[in-house]
Structure 1
Amino acid sequence: MGIFFFYMFVASATPLFLWLEYRKLAIASIPGIFALWILGAIYIINPTWWIEAWFIFTFAVNVVLAHYAAIVLYGMPYIRAKRLERQPKRLV
């Protein structure tokens, strides 16, 4: 469970990186982060298998969203630059 709690701190910072350029994506990630923290706190107080299952499910959803955000933030500018390099040069 330690790695899950470490990820919660990393996930909590993700909207800060996205805020200036991709506010909608940053706002979309906030409910999942709240759910992670709430389920984590409940799990610490009363560790049951179903709380852990919901926690891991929420964790997986946040991982997918974080990877999508990383692709949008870092991958798309690289892909766009490569597409522009491959386009034939136009003579005006």
Structure 2
Amino acid sequence: MSVGIDVAACVASASAVSAVTVNGAAVACTASDGTAGTVAVTHLSLVDDSASVPPFDYAQAFGFWGLAFTSVVALYFACLGIGTVVNFIRRS
């Protein structure tokens, strides 16, 4: 589902501007000092595509978390062992 609107803005150097619209669309704008301004039209839309997002998979998330936790613990013990060997070599 997509809902959108067109927003037209009259951009001019003077403080007061008047815009000419045709069927709701701005086609021209004039500043208070008689100079022509620029019409900027932007399309704003809200897209609701929540149907295309799959539900959160807790089993897969637990697998990733378990792998990360196990890797950190294994790295800790590996570094602890390396530190023990280095300290043994340094003190001997």
What band does the TM-score fall into relative to the shorter chain?
0.3 to 0.5
- Bigger CA radius of gyration: 2
More helix by share: 1
More strand by share: 2
Instruction: Give the alignment's TM-score, normalised by structure 2.
Output: 0.33
